Structures are given as structure tokens and as C-alpha cells.
Amino acid sequence: MNQLSLKNLIFLNFIFVFITSSAQQPGSFDNSFQIGTGTNALVTAITIQSDNRILIGGGFNDYKGVSRRKITRILPNGSNDFTFNSGISFDGQDSLVLSIKLQNDSSILVGGSFNSYQGISINNITRLKTNGDLDTSFHSGIGADERVIDIALQSDGKIILGGYFNTYDGVSSNGIIRLNPNGTIDTSFHTGNGTGTGVHTGVHKIRIQDDGKILIVGLFDSYNLNPRNYIARLNADGTIDPSFNPGINIIGGNVNSCAIQSDGKILIGGSFHHYGTSIAAGIMRLNQDGTLDNSFDSNPGVVAGSLPYLNVDEIGLQEDGRIIISGYFMSYNGVLRNNITRINSDGSIDLTFNVGNGLNGYANSLYLQNDGKVLIGGQFQTYNQQNAPHIVRLNGGTDFANISQSDVKNSILIYPNPASSFIQISNIPETAIIQLIDLNGRLIFEVLAGQNPFLDISNLKNGFYSITIQLTDQTKSQHKLLIQH
């Protein structure tokens, strides 16, 4: 290859990378997700199977013009998955799916507000087979007497339900209960009075810590008669954990969402505006004992839109430590952000995540895909003025300064291979060190990756070589290269 053609190739590659990067700017609309007319009503639950097919639930009766009552499964490109039978599933116009979780055998747990499925009486909790049919081996009895809002799965397969119910299969269980994997009540879980018997008391989200303790948030002021405003932590047996005590410091509204960081600190979102005397509108971070983490600066936080309230309904943690929040708000820390934004780990807004005009309605559900893309469901019609009826997927975007090094190693590309004149190495940080070694172990060259890691191999002999890439955490990734002139 002559020098001119190599320069042209490098230039064309730069143009391609620029266009690709622009098209996948963090926060941009993912055009590969073709939802067409989407759903005819809100989407309140999203989860993804191991084969990347997407389960969604809500209050809708169709998806892309096909009858799909309250739950359906779609392919990764947004198409209907016609192997999932949900056309005549949840009966009742007012039925609503609020939570979908997958058990280890891929069975589908569904919670919400409903009383029958495919004509069979079930109350607010059920389990489906992978094809969407009712799983009659799940023994929920007469179910929950009121709506189930969240489902959490323990590592031992046991199931924790949270919601506004006061009984499950006729047994008293205020706001929270644990089930065995087959749906029967786990009698070793002792909640006592739970979140109380008031009409407006219930659990909105459940998260399980690595040590087995259970975090619950919602609309309540006590747990088993212990004062707890909107958040409590339970021991693995259901009793209250006294070492976590925010007391009554969360002021102004309930807590609707929570997420546990790898360092054990706890992010919470909701309609509150203070922790004690500290302003923390819609989102705050707590230490492991429940006290406010002052290193997280969310002042003034989210600001409400046209309705007289604000709310952070979902929190998603990216692998690089950044945080995506969604709900109902019009700005975050003074920057216009309609109902979705991304913030840095210190609470500051991440301006690289550009949502434009954002969502034109409430964002009820959020799911982070393994590839970094972001699925959002809710009561909206557009995202950044593009058609998005109740569901949308955004490009997530990460950077090599924060992404885990194992993910970097898995994404490294060397092209072409076999090669004759040059090679390009993609998806590595600029600080990576590249070594080329022959079969005798002799170092041919060592270079810093820099911004454009094209390597000239035109003067090297035919044969196999080893490429070693040393990443920023000093770990190494090795690859074979065949040179053929």
C-alpha cells in the first residue's frame, strides 16, 4: 500500500469514527430501536432476558398495533416477539403491570394491580412461563389484597414483594412479604406490623444488599412500629436493622426509588426536598448508617414542571459510576433536563449526556442494558421531539477513564488480521501501552496508543506475532497477529 492510499484510509477512518461517535452521542435517540406506534398507554415495567429480548408491562392494550394486554415481549430491534402469548392476558381495562422480574429458570414474575390472567382468577401477583402462558405451579392462593409495586429476588431464589397490600393469601402482611420460590409464604420472615395498615402506606422499591440485608423505600412513617420516614433497612429475617436509622429526617415527600452503590452508599429518589435542614430536592445519597452523605451535592436538585410536584421515580447506576435518573422534573441543578438526566458520582450534572428537549411526559421505568444503552418507559410521546410513544432507547455512552478494565479488554478490536501493511487497534484508552513481540519473545516495538493507534508493520517478516496491550490498571490483554505480505 503506498503512502497516499494509507493517508486516505486513515482520513476515511477518522470520518467514519466521527460520524459513528456523533450518531451514538450519550443521550441520543437510538434509531436501531424501531418501535413504530409503540404502546397505546403507559409503560411502567421493563426487564431484559438473557437472550436480550425485552419484556415490558404497563397499562397498554396493544404494541405496534397488535393486541398485547398489559404485558408483551419485544425483540432487541423493537419488533413484536410473536412467540410470546399475551394477546388475551390481563383482563380488565384498569389492570396495570408494575413489576417484572425473571427467576433463575427464566420464569417471569409479574406484580401489579390485576385480578385475572387469561381468564383465570389471580390477584396482583403471578408467574408466567417463558411463552407467556400462566404458570399454574406458582401457588399464590388468593394472592395479595392490593397492588404489588415491586418484586426482589434473593440469591437463594426466595421472592420479596412490596406494595400496598395488607394480606397475602389471607395472611396479614402489611406492605412487604417474602415467598418461597413456588409462591407460598416464607414463615421465617418476620415483619410484624410491617409498614402499617393505613390506606396510604406501602413499599415502592426493594433492594437487597450483598450482605443479605434488605432496603425498602416508599410511603410509610414506621416499620413494625419503629419510626422510619419513607426508608428502612431490614435484617435478612425481616426484623428492623437498628444500625440504619435516618429517623424522620427525610422531609417533604415519599421515597420512590433507591440504588445501592458498590461502596455500600445508598442513592434515593422521590418527591422529598430536604434531609433535616439540608436541601436535597428529589435525590440524595446516604451513608451506610442512614446519615446524609454531604459529599454528594444535589442542591438544588430537581425542579418540578407544570404540575405542583417533583419526583425521581427511577435510578440507574452505570458501571463507570455515573447515575441516570428519570421521573417528573424540568431541570437538575439549574440545567434544563425534562424528566431524565445523568449525573456524576459527586452529584453534579453530566453535561456530556445530552437529552435535548428530553421527554414530554412522565418517565416511570428505566433499565440499563449490558451494552450501556438505556431503555425508558412511561407516559410520554416524544423524546427530544422524536416519536417515542411510551418507550424509547437511548445511547448510553461511557468513557475509558471510568469504565472497568475487564470491559475494555473484552471490547478490543485489531484490524485487519491477517495484515500486510498496517493494523489499527480500537476501543483502548489513549494511555494504553502497545507491545509487538515475535515468536522468539523479542520485543519489536513498544508505543503509547495515543489518539490514533495505527501501527506500520510493512517492514516485518511474515509469520505470527503477539500483541500485548497494557491497560491503565497495569493488567494486560494479549492477542495473536498474523502478518502476510
What CATH code is assigned to 405-483?
2.60.40.3080
- pLDDT at position 429, please? 75
The answer to whether 128 and 114 are in contact (CB under 8 A) is: no
- pLDDT at position 21, please? 41
The whole-angstrom separation of Cα 96 and Cα 70 is 6
Handedness of CA 206, 284, 392, 41 (dihedral sign): positive
CATH 2.60.40.3080 segments of the chain: 405-483
CATH 2.130.10.10 segments of the chain: 29-394
**pLDDT, tens digit, for every residue of 177-233?**
999 999 999 999 999 999 998 777 999 999 999 999 999 999 999 999 999 999 999
The answer to whether 96 and 78 are in contact (CB under 8 A) is: no
- pLDDT at position 454, please? 73
- pLDDT at position 305, please? 58
Nearest to 55 by CA among 375, 455, 362: 375
- pLDDT at position 15, please? 40
Q: Which helix (H) or strand (E) holds 392?
A: strand 391-394
The DSSP string of 394-426 is E-----TTTS-HHHHHHH-EEESSSBSSEEEEE
Distances (CA, A) of 137 to 128, 133, 191, 303: 10, 12, 26, 47
Peptide bond connecting 181 to the previous residue in cis, omega within 30 degrees of 0:
no
Distant-in-sequence, close-in-space partners of 2: CB < 8 Å, separation ≥ 6? none
- pLDDT at position 406, please? 53
CATH class, 29-394 region: mainly beta
pLDDT tens for the 485 residues of the chain, in order: 444 344 444 444 444 444 444 447 889 999 999 999 999 999 999 999 999 999 999 999 999 999 999 999 999 999 999 999 866 688 778 899 999 999 999 999 999 999 999 889 999 999 999 999 999 999 999 999 999 999 999 999 999 999 999 999 999 999 999 999 999 999 999 999 999 987 779 999 999 999 999 999 999 999 999 999 999 999 999 999 999 998 788 988 899 999 999 999 999 999 998 898 888 889 999 999 999 999 998 888 888 755 556 899 999 999 888 999 999 999 998 888 999 999 999 999 998 898 999 999 999 999 999 889 999 999 999 999 999 999 999 998 754 444 445 545 555 778 788 888 888 887 777 778 888 988 877 889 888 887 555 788 989 999 888 898 887 667 788 888 888 88
List strand residue ranges (DSSP E) for 167-213, in order: 167-168, 171-172, 176-179, 202-208
Long-range contacts of 359-362 (CB under 8 A, 24+ apart): 359/326, 359/383, 359/388, 359/392, 362/42, 362/313, 362/327, 362/328
- pLDDT at position 47, please? 98
The Cα angle at residue 472 between residues 470 and 474, in degrees rounded to 5: 55
The whole-angstrom separation of Cα 300 and Cα 146 is 36
**pLDDT, tens digit, for every residue of 436-479?**
988 877 889 888 887 555 788 989 999 888 898 887 667 788 88
Q: Following CA atoms 73, 175, 197, 272 in sequence, which dihedral angle do they give, to the nearest 10 degrees?
A: -90
The whole-angstrom separation of Cα 374 and Cα 33 is 11
Q: Following CA atoms 236, 239, 241, 245 in sequence, which dihedral angle do they give, to the nearest 10 degrees?
A: 140
Label the pairing between strands 66-67 and 71-74.
unpaired
The whole-angstrom separation of Cα 254 and Cα 242 is 21
Distant-in-sequence, close-in-space partners of 415: CB < 8 Å, separation ≥ 6? 423, 424, 426
Nearest to 459 by CA among 136, 35, 1, 107: 1
**What cell numbers appear for 281 in the block?**
430536592
